[in-house]
Structure 1
Amino acid sequence: MTLRYSLLDEPLIGARLTEDGSRVHLSLPALFVALADDRIRDFPALRPHQRHPWHAFLVQLAAMALHEAGQTAPFADEAAWKAALLALTPDDPDGAAWCLVSPPERPALMQPPVPEGTLKAWKNALTAPDELDMLVTSKNHDLKVARMQRCAPEDWLLALISLQTQEGFLGAGNYGISRMNGGFASRPALGAVPRGGWGRRWARDIRRLLDSRAEIVRDMELCEQGGLGLVWLRPWNGIDSLAFTILDPFYIEICRRIRLVESPAGISALATGSKAPRIEAKSRNGVTGDPWMPIDIGAGKALTITAKGFDYKLSSELLFGQKFRSPIAQALIAEDGAQGIVMLARGVTRGQGKTEGYHERRIPISPKVRAFMIQKKTDVLAKIAEERVSDIGKVRGVLWTALATLFENGSSKDKFGDSAKDMANLFAKPFERFEDSRFFDGPLGLNEEVEAAQPEDVRLRWYLDMAKRAEAILIDAFESGPRSGERRYRARAAALSRLHGGLRSDKTLPTLAHHYKAQKDSKEAPHVQL
């Protein structure tokens, strides 16, 4: 078997350029040059759930190459990048470790050497890149597998990186990565994105890694020099695990025994199981120095997202709260600029033998919010966010009670049946979804309040808008409430009374209650004729 599909020499990676949107195909060194010039708009073959693994791979790889070369800034030409990448694989000067296909006893990209030197015993054949990838679908209904029959080498490349750097446990013999909290967890990512293209973020994250290398080495007890960075270079028999402490702080891992092979029909993959994870890091609970991974301080473990993804509650805690230790990619630096900064959160929610959705959220950072974050004075922002989370919950609670009253035929008691509760939950969901969507940067959102000269005016207008929408949702629910004449009128009147009474109570939102009272007093005040 010969070496095929070298990322160092062949234009295998498809991209679109920022200047005119034209499509090009680049080698890995050529891609790094284009990224350094911020000329890459996007990668057309990249699937949504592959975005972070691909970004992380490009950043960690470039950071390792630059560190080994004693450089702090990206190289400006392809030859320098190729030499730096080859320097990471001194035992394979012919570039085998950068090829998609190589002899089994040699390393291939993201594929460890096979000690036995043959794949005859490997029975699990995969014919399409999406069959190799890490997504798990429900009985082949959510997303059909093995659809990518007419595919290019880059499709295998992206699927391979996705699998090897973000997959979890999937039954006996299929272990997950070290950079997550347990086999059924996930590898979410959070980081700042400055204004610009893919290359701008790539370059800033490389700088963050290089600047933080000593910190990661110290905190994670990893190797400052001579550590294993490209885990696929070591042969793997499927039995032995690597000690975490032998790794480079920027290490790129693998978790499965996979080999790509080529036949007249094209590329396919062979896989076999293992009796142990590739890296022994279970006790670390995903705390590995991952530059994009938030850490739950109290629990001492990496963040795992649920099916809710990065909702407004979790996002505000990640940005401003004290529960999580921020990843190094989240920290703002002066070079990010003052305008157009976004906090980008990504991740796939995994479960036992299933995937519960891909989640991505972009949170624009306003100038004042940026200033607070750079000065590490987020307590003000945390207080505002906490109040807003609480206020949404209070209005939703009032709305829910009014809805339950409606579906309980206007009962004046707070004991509701299961049917009424289920209907109230159903109709209350759009209220919270809308507030989630505008929590940070929408109309009357957190950014607007922080930037305002009179933030209390923004807060009041937000309260009034929530009250208006809550009433609209309740009125829309009338059609699904009681239908008979007497019950219908009683239920609707009781529900509206519950809603209005709750919104005007000092126990809900005192500021809103005071506003309503002032309005009422103004209307009832006697008019004095002169």
Structure 2
Amino acid sequence: MTCRYSLLNEPLIRTRLAADGSPARYTLPGLFVALAGDTIRDFPALRPHQRHPWHAFLVQLAAMALHKAGQSQPFASEADWKAALLALTPDYPDGEAWCLIAPHNKPAFMQAPVPDGNISEWGNTTPTSTPDLLDILVTSKNHDLKQERIRTAYPDDWLFALISLQTAAPFPGRGNYGVARMNGGSSSRPGLGIDPPGGPGRRWWRDVRIALAERITMADDFGYAAEEGVSLLWLAPWDGKSAYSFTALDPFFIEISRRIRLVADDELIKALRTTSTGPRIAKEESKSRKGNTGDLWTPIEIAAGKSLGVSGTGFHYKRMVELLFGPNYKKPPAQIIAQGDDTEGLTVIARAIAGGQSTTDGYHERRIPISPKVRQRLMVRDTDELAATATQRVQDIAKMRGLLWTATATLFDNGAAKDKFSDSAKDKANIFSKPFEQAEDARFFDELNAEIESDDPDKVRLGWHLSMAERAETVLRNAFHAGPRSSEQRYRARAAALSRFHGGLRSGNVLPSLTQHYREQ
């Protein structure tokens, strides 16, 4: 078997250019040159849940190559990048480790060599015929993310699938272990960072600079090998039993979690897989670290000393307030604003696949613009006032939702003047009040930025309270069509619901600013 689909020599990676969206293909070294020039707009083959693993891979790989070469700036030529990547694989100077397909006794890209090159024991597994079946979100049904849709797969489809599976996979079942950079197999590897204005190349180089600056600290704090550590975990043979200790690893190590080999029948690529009896990185060490591995993009829960776990609710506004301004999480290096960052146009980006027991709860991504005043306070880490303002807004939304829920429950209980509602009324009230909070979630940080940037924040907050009350009343009135049908009950229920709602706004128990405003009016 010869090596095929070389990332060093063949332009396999499809992109669209920033200038006009025209297509362009790159080798991996050529891609680094293009990223350094920020000439790329996006990667059309990249699926949403693969975005963070791809970005992290490019940052870690570039940081290791530059460090080994003693460079602090990106190489200017494709040839220099190629030489730097080959320097990471000195035992394979012909580039086998950078080919998607290689002899099984040698490493292929993100694929560990098979001892003696013998894959006969893998023969009982059905070959994976499409990359989206290789890298599928583990779900109970085939509706969260449709399987086997990529019927005509290109090499970069397999490239992205390999990176996502090998560096961000959870634990779906026995013999298939999750990665070390998460808190247990049912968690996830989140990615939080700052996205500067421009294309993906701007963020890539920003994070590479951060990685190079953090290298010594990471080695000291987490016990990595500061020099000559194992960087690419797919280079050494893996029998499914052997494992690396963290102390043997480079701070930016790129791991693999599964035993996989790509093969080709003519031009059709397929994947062969088999299980392992343990993870690639020592199980007990990984378990004790709880995902706290110094990852550049992973927040750490301070009290528990564990990495952030993302549930099915994703990055909702309450969670993001805590991650941005709260004291309970240690922000990862990539999320901390530095002096050299742009003064305008910065965005916080959060990405993760929500973990579950042998399943996943979908892919979640959120972008939050950073206003100038927020940027300034984040940079000097003076976030107490920001946290107080944001937390008060979270509480205000909860109060308004509670009032809306009570009013809709009154409606569905036929306007009865009581607080103990029927189960049916409660269920219907939940159905109508939940979308209200989701809508407030979507506009939360835009409204928060407006208050923080304003010279009269009290006026801005009052305006927000008034508009939020209007939106809540709209939801209540939209619920009228699902309320009682008979004429007598219908009018009584609607009147009682509106009275409950407006009475609550004026009572002083929900939002005192509104009570004062209505009195003045």
Separation in structure 2 between the aligned mates of residue 480 and residue 146 of structure 1, nearest angstrom: 41
1:349 matched residue in structure 2: 354
Q: Deviations over 1:483-528 (max 9, x none)?
A: 1122222211211111111111222111111111111xxxxxxxxx
SS at match of 1:340: coil
Confirm or deny: 8 A CA contact 1:137 1:144 kept in the other structure: no
TM-score, with structure 2 as normaliser: 0.97
Which amino acid is 1:273 matched to?
T
1:198 matched residue in structure 2: 200
| Pairing partner for 1:401 from 399, 406, 409 | 406
1:185 matched residue in structure 2: 187
Which amino acid is 1:353 matched to?
S
Confirm or deny: 8 A CA contact 2:136 2:145 kept in the other structure: no
Separation in structure 2 between the aligned mates of residue 298 and residue 490 of structure 1, nearest angstrom: 52
SS at match of 1:113: coil
Separation in structure 2 between the aligned mates of residue 395 and residue 302 of structure 1, nearest angstrom: 33
Confirm or deny: 8 A CA contact 1:15 1:41 kept in the other structure: yes
SS at match of 2:115: coil
TM-score, with structure 1 as normaliser: 0.96
Say yes or no: does 1:283 pair with 2:288: yes
Runs (4+) of structure 1 exceeding 6 A deviation are none
1:150 matched residue in structure 2: 152
Confirm or deny: 8 A CA contact 2:144 2:362 kept in the other structure: no
Say yes or no: does 1:323 pair with 2:325: no
Separation in structure 2 between the aligned mates of residue 381 and residue 430 of structure 1, nearest angstrom: 26
Separation in structure 1 between the aligned mates of residue 472 and residue 133 of structure 2, nearest angstrom: 45
Confirm or deny: 8 A CA contact 1:134 1:166 kept in the other structure: no
Percent identical: 60
C-alpha deviation, 1:19, in angstroms: 1.3
Q: Deviations over 1:308-367 (max 9, x none)?
A: 110100011111111111010001123221111000011111222322211111100011
C-alpha deviation, 1:265, in angstroms: 5.1
C-alpha deviation, 1:477, in angstroms: 0.7
Q: Deviations over 1:416-436 (max 9, x none)?
A: 121111100110122111110
| Pairing partner for 1:485 from 474, 478, 487 | 487
Equivalent positions of 1:106-505 (< 5 A) are 106-122=106-122, 123-124=124-125, 125-264=127-266, 266-280=268-282, 281-441=286-446, 445-505=447-507
Say yes or no: does 1:50 pair with 2:55: no
Q: Deviations over 1:246-284 (max 9, x none)?
A: 111111111000011112252111000001011121111
Larger displacement relative to structure 2 (455-464 or 411-420): 411-420
Separation in structure 2 between the aligned mates of residue 118 and residue 267 of structure 1, nearest angstrom: 19
Separation in structure 2 between the aligned mates of residue 82 and residue 176 of structure 1, nearest angstrom: 30
Which amino acid is 2:33 matched to?
V
SS at match of 2:116: coil
Confirm or deny: 8 A CA contact 1:181 1:304 kept in the other structure: yes
Separation in structure 1 between the aligned mates of residue 297 and residue 374 of structure 2, nearest angstrom: 20
Separation in structure 2 between the aligned mates of residue 145 and residue 204 of structure 1, nearest angstrom: 35
Which amino acid is 1:404 matched to?
A
Separation in structure 1 between the aligned mates of residue 392 and residue 155 of structure 2, nearest angstrom: 51
Which amino acid is 1:28 matched to?
L
Separation in structure 1 between the aligned mates of residue 151 and residue 450 of structure 2, nearest angstrom: 48
Confirm or deny: 8 A CA contact 2:172 2:359 kept in the other structure: no
Confirm or deny: 8 A CA contact 1:257 1:273 kept in the other structure: yes
Which amino acid is 1:301 matched to?
K
Separation in structure 1 between the aligned mates of residue 515 and residue 236 of structure 2, nearest angstrom: 67
Confirm or deny: 8 A CA contact 2:136 2:147 kept in the other structure: no
C-alpha deviation, 1:388, in angstroms: 0.4
SS at match of 2:473: helix
Separation in structure 2 between the aligned mates of residue 223 and residue 500 of structure 1, nearest angstrom: 64
Separation in structure 1 between the aligned mates of residue 470 and residue 145 of structure 2, nearest angstrom: 39
SS at match of 1:121: helix
SS at match of 1:159: helix
Confirm or deny: 8 A CA contact 1:134 1:162 kept in the other structure: no
Separation in structure 2 between the aligned mates of residue 388 and residue 164 of structure 1, nearest angstrom: 40
SS at match of 1:14: strand
Confirm or deny: 8 A CA contact 2:7 2:27 kept in the other structure: yes
Confirm or deny: 8 A CA contact 1:15 1:40 kept in the other structure: yes
C-alpha deviation, 1:140, in angstroms: 2.3
C-alpha deviation, 1:51, in angstroms: 0.6
SS at match of 2:231: strand
Q: Deviations over 1:14-48 (max 9, x none)?
A: 01111121111110010000000010100011111
Equivalent positions of 1:13-32 (< 5 A) are 13-32=13-32
Which amino acid is 1:7 matched to?
L
1:62 matched residue in structure 2: 62
C-alpha deviation, 1:380, in angstroms: 1.0
